[in-house]
Amino acid sequence: MNDPVPNPAQQNTAQQNPPVPLDPAFFTCTNTYLDIANTQAKTQGLKRVSAALMYATTRYNAHAYLGYETNVDSTRAEFLDYMTQLYRNMLEQNLDNLVAERSGNTPAQ
């Protein structure tokens, strides 16, 4: 499976090419984490689970970055900028989709 989060050094290339559909296994993995989060939210609450997921995500992304990046000092700022923008884009897309879904409308493309 291709990584859904490309290396920041490849960002310009990724922006020039149309997006590649994600492997269905990506959504299976995502849904597993959402199921766990929903179970935890029953006892921990939405805010705590949201904070825990964000913390876990940042911790894992730092781990993954250090696992594939060999020149951390020179690419750290670029990685942080890329991941921050990626998070914002994903959050905006999910907000749009969920608002549309809950209001009975289809999201704008």
Alpha helices in the chain (DSSP H): 11-16, 24-44, 46-68, 72-103
Is there a single domain that holds both residue 47 and residue 31? yes
Q: Which residues contact 37 (CB under 8 A, 6 or more apart)?
A: 49, 53
Does some domain include residue 54? yes
Is there a single domain that holds both residue 75 and residue 105? yes
Instruction: Give the pLDDT confidence score for residue 107 in this predicted structure.
Output: 59
78-109 residue pLDDT tens: 999 999 999 999 999 999 999 999 998 765 55
Instruction: Give the pLDDT confidence score for residue 13 in this predicted structure.
Output: 46
Question: What pTM was estimated for this model as a whole?
Answer: 0.73
Is there a single domain that holds both residue 40 and residue 61? yes
Is there a single domain that holds both residue 52 and residue 74? no
Q: Tokens 């913390």 — which residue?
A: 55
Is there a single domain that holds both residue 92 and residue 63? no
Residues of the chain with pLDDT under 50: 1-2, 8-9, 11-14
Does some domain include residue 33? yes
- Domain total for the chain? 2
